[in-house]
């Protein structure tokens, strides 16, 4: 089960160009249309270099003599190369055209040149196409021709003619056609040359490229595919006119197609694995979907966004945060209605706690404030400043100050400052001959009477009492 190389894990949000596709049949689905590899023996075909090139002895129905599409993706490095070969032009009505479609069933970001190695001559006309929607629609990626003007009514161009501003232009190139470099068997789609417009000729300034990819969706999309299609439109003829009498000379043969890329996971995964033979991002940061393209259920606390290359080199994860409503732990006891997700702790905390509270759930008192033991956690007065001190003697009705935090009240009194009768709080004052009631009368009266009257009263009372 292929995985991204280890360095990708270390470079969590930095691009990790490493995964290679095209190395095995698991990587890719290949479709050839039409099935031109079903060969009767192409009598009269001319061997070109490779001694296994079909010459009176190819037969698609015999494994030893067949040249099926898989041979474009097998391990190379042997001599001679293994290859897929089409039927010849003689065996197929004009024009001899073949589509080779590569499908990953997954969005892929290309990271290096696409390289196609021909065992036949390179085709006179070919279009490389791409799809971003699993093969529903196709766009040209690059045109290849011996004569661009004649074949596609396009002026020939090389990637080197492009610039940062024109890098997305679709060009027709004559660089890889028969006759240009007769010894070469290779066709490129130049990813690295295009990267170099941003990262410099030796790709040393990749930060600049990542910055551009981060901010320019069109540029990101340009290097992204779900499928590739190689449309072989006209085989190598090598001459101006087709030799109608020897059409068996003309065919396509490809020994290797290399596509380097990595899964597109929107920088929310460092690993892409095969799950039931299908490439799948191992999504992190509370994301999900084939490309980690959305937030997981219950993690929609803010809109999804892709991870970012910026700031270089660490990037930004842009983690999906829990939905406040769904997690149920934005519980602030009524002292705040706002929570925030702390990435580092993977937890939700209340922000802007009011009423002198603090803490994850506003369940603690701010410095200099004390828990009001007689109030519930959701009471606005749950945290109070110094209740009493020795100078001001705030405690009433004979209460005494304890550690500045609370008044120790006489049995009949309660409240922060012992200001309430206990029976009052219980609603039982007057219903029994409570101690509180009998005490309250004279004391209240004494407080209300003006001092002079009080003196008189006491003076009068004295003789009466004795
Ligand atoms: Ca091969």
Residues 234-245: tens digit of each pLDDT: 998 876 677 777
CA 118–ligand 1 middle distance (angstroms) = 10
CA 5–ligand 1 middle distance (angstroms) = 24
pTM of the entire predicted model: 0.65
Which range among 130-134, 311-315, 323-327, 413-417 shows the weakest confidence by mean pLDDT? 323-327
Average pLDDT, the chain: 76
Q: How far is CA 191 from CA 152, 220, 314, in A?
A: 22, 12, 24
CA 72–ligand 1 middle distance (angstroms) = 4
Superfamily of domain 29-37+58-263: Galactose-binding domain-like (2.60.120.260)
CA 81–ligand 1 middle distance (angstroms) = 6
CA 82–ligand 1 middle distance (angstroms) = 4
CA 77–ligand 1 middle distance (angstroms) = 9
* Domain range summary for the chain, segments of one domain joined by +: 29-37+58-263, 265-320, 339-421
Q: How confident is the model over 203-224, as a mean pLDDT?
A: 90
Q: How confident is the model over 97-104, as a mean pLDDT?
A: 90
The CATH number given to 265-320 is: 2.10.25.10
CA 186–ligand 1 middle distance (angstroms) = 13
SS3 (DSSP) at 340:
strand
Which range among 147-151, 167-171, 338-342, 434-438 shows the weakest confidence by mean pLDDT? 434-438
Q: Tell me the C-alpha distance between 186 and 180, whole Å.
A: 12
Using an 8 Å Cβ cutoff, are 165 and 150 in contact?
A: no
Most confident of the following: 63-72, 73-82, 187-196: 187-196
The CA-based angle 430-435-438, given to 5 degrees, is: 70
Q: How confident is the model over 362-377, as a mean pLDDT?
A: 83
CA 257–ligand 1 middle distance (angstroms) = 8
- Give the percent of the chain with pLDDT over 70: 75
pLDDT attached to residue 447: 37
- Asked whether the predicted pLDDT for residue 100 surpasses 80, the reply is yes
Which range among 45-49, 66-70, 225-229 shows the weakest confidence by mean pLDDT? 45-49
- Asked whether the predicted pLDDT for residue 456 surpasses 50, the reply is no
CA 254–ligand 1 middle distance (angstroms) = 8
CA 75–ligand 1 middle distance (angstroms) = 6
pLDDT attached to residue 392: 55
Which range among 45-54, 109-118, 339-348, 412-421 shows the weakest confidence by mean pLDDT? 45-54
- Asked whether the predicted pLDDT for residue 176 surpasses 80, the reply is yes
CA 76–ligand 1 middle distance (angstroms) = 6
CA 194–ligand 1 middle distance (angstroms) = 27
Using an 8 Å Cβ cutoff, are 96 and 251 in contact?
A: yes
pLDDT attached to residue 205: 86
Most confident of the following: 31-45, 53-67, 288-302, 339-353: 288-302
391: Cβ–Cβ under 8 A, 6 or more apart, which residues?
A: none
Phi then psi for 251, rounded to 5 degrees?
-170, 175
pLDDT attached to residue 34: 59
pLDDT band at 270 (very low <50, low <70, confident <90, very high): confident
CA 249–ligand 1 middle distance (angstroms) = 21
Q: 341 - beta bridge partners? A: 348
- Asked whether the predicted pLDDT for residue 445 surpasses 50, the reply is no
CA 169–ligand 1 middle distance (angstroms) = 31
pLDDT band at 132 (very low <50, low <70, confident <90, very high): very high
State whether the Cα torsion 266-269-270-274 is positive or negative.
negative
Tokens of 258: 């290399």
CA 306–ligand 1 middle distance (angstroms) = 37
CA 78–ligand 1 middle distance (angstroms) = 9
Tokens of 302: 């803010």
- Asked whether the predicted pLDDT for residue 189 surpasses 60, the reply is yes
**CA nearest neighbour of 362 among 348, 373, 346:** 348
């Amino acid at each position: 089960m292929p995985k991204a190389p280890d360095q990708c894990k270390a470079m969590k949000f930095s691009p990790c160009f490493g995964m290679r596709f095209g190395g095995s049949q698991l990587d890719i689905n290949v479709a050839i249309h039409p099935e031109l590899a079903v060969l009767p023996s192409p009598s009269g075909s001319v061997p070109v270099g490779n001694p296994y090139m079909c010459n009176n002895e190819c037969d698609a129905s015999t494994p030893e003599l067949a040249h099926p599409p898989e041979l474009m993706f097998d391990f190379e490095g042997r001599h001679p190369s293994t290859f897929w070969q089409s039927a010849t032009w003689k065996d197929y009505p004009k024009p001899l055209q073949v589509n080779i479609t590569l499908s990953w069933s997954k969005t892929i970001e290309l990271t290096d040149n696409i390289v196609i190695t021909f065992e036949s001559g390179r085709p006179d006309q070919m279009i490389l196409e791409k799809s971003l929607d699993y093969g529903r629609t196709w766009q040209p990626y690059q045109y290849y021709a011996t004569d661009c003007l004649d074949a596609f009514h396009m002026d020939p161009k090389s990637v080197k003619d492009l610039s940062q501003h024109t890098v997305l232009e679709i060009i027709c190139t004559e660089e890889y056609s028969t006759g240009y470099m007769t010894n070469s068997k290779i066709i490129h789609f130049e990813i690295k040359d295009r990267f170099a417009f941003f990262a410099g000729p030796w790709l040393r300034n990749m930060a600049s490229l990542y910055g551009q990819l981060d901010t320019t969706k069109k540029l990101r999309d340009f290097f992204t595919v779900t499928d590739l299609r190689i449309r072989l439109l006209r085989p190598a003829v090598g001459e101006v006119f087709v030799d109608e009498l020897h059409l068996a000379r003309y065919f396509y043969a490809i020994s290797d197609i290399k596509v380097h890329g990595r899964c597109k996971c929107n920088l929310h995964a460092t690993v892409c694995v095969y799950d039931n033979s299908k490439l799948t991002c191992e999504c992190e940061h509370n994301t999900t979907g084939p490309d980690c393209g959305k937030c997981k259920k219950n993690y929609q606390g803010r809109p999804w966004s892709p991870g970012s290359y910026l700031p270089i080199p660490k990037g930004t994860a842009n983690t999906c945060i829990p939905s406040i409503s769904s997690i149920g732990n934005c519980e602030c006891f009524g002292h705040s209605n706002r929570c925030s997700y702390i990435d580092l702790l993977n937890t939700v905390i209340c922000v802007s706690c009011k009423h002198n509270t603090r803490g994850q759930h506003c369940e603690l008192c701010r410095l200099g404030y004390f828990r009001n033991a007689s109030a519930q956690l959701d009471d606005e007065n749950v945290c109070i400043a110094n209740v009493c001190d020795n100078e001001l003697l705030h405690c009433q009705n004979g209460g005494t100050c304890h550690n500045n935090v609370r008044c120790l009240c006489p049995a009949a009194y309660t409240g922060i400052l012992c200001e309430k009768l206990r029976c009052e709080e219980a609603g039982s004052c007057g219903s029994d001959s409570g101690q509180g009631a009998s005490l309250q009368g004279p004391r209240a009266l004494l407080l209300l009477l003006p001092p002079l009257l009080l003196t008189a009263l006491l003076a009068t009372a004295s003789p009466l009492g004795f």
